[in-house]
Amino acid sequence: MEVKKYVHQSRATMTEMVLPNDTNTLHNLMGGKLMHWMDVVAAISAQRHSNSIVVTASVDNISFKNPIPLGNVVTLNAQVTRAFNTSMEVFIEVYAEDIPAGKRLLTHRAFFTFVAVDKAGKPVPVPALSADSPEELELFEGALRRRQLRLVLASRMKPDEATELKSLFSLEPSPKK
């Protein structure tokens, strides 16, 4: 019998306040500090899903279009979007909140990949994931394409083996309309 876990079982939320030691010279949260927080909340989510030690395998693009000012409260939400053999994709959303002004803003989104390992660092199998809501299903269905793209970009998969990405890497001209 295959063990399955649900998305909600992997959810993790972390809340931090941007303090002076967390900021750059413009008094905004330093990017490296945010990436650290994202890695921590994503690792907690992956551990909840796998019941294992996890290590970060990859981080997708993180763009810094919205600075997070000193004094804001940062909330990071993470959940596993899909489980493969020994790896899991985790989706993170970051919100910045200026509590006195009553403003809350989605500032960042990213996908991290984790591998479950034993105490010797050897990869171990992870449970399958069951996605239920429309949002969970959309993230689940897109995860295989994102995984294949990561593997192609890391030269760990040949583009012609990326079954979910064939149309992106096709050398044949697209049909004329």
Q: Where are the domains of the chain?
A: 4-131
What's the whole-model pTM score? 0.88
pLDDT in tens, 137-175: 999 998 888 888 887 777 777 777 777 777 665 555 555
- Please give the Cα distance from 104 to 119 (Å, whole number): 40
pLDDT in tens, 83-120: 999 999 999 999 999 999 999 999 999 999 999 999 99
Fold (CATH) for 4-131:
Thiol Ester Dehydrase; Chain A (3.10.129)
CB 3 within 8 A of CB 124: no
Q: Scan for tokens 């993230």, then name that residue.
A: 139
- Please give the Cα distance from 119 to 127 (Å, whole number): 18
Q: What is the pLDDT of residue 148?
A: 83
- Please give the Cα distance from 40 to 21 (Å, whole number): 19
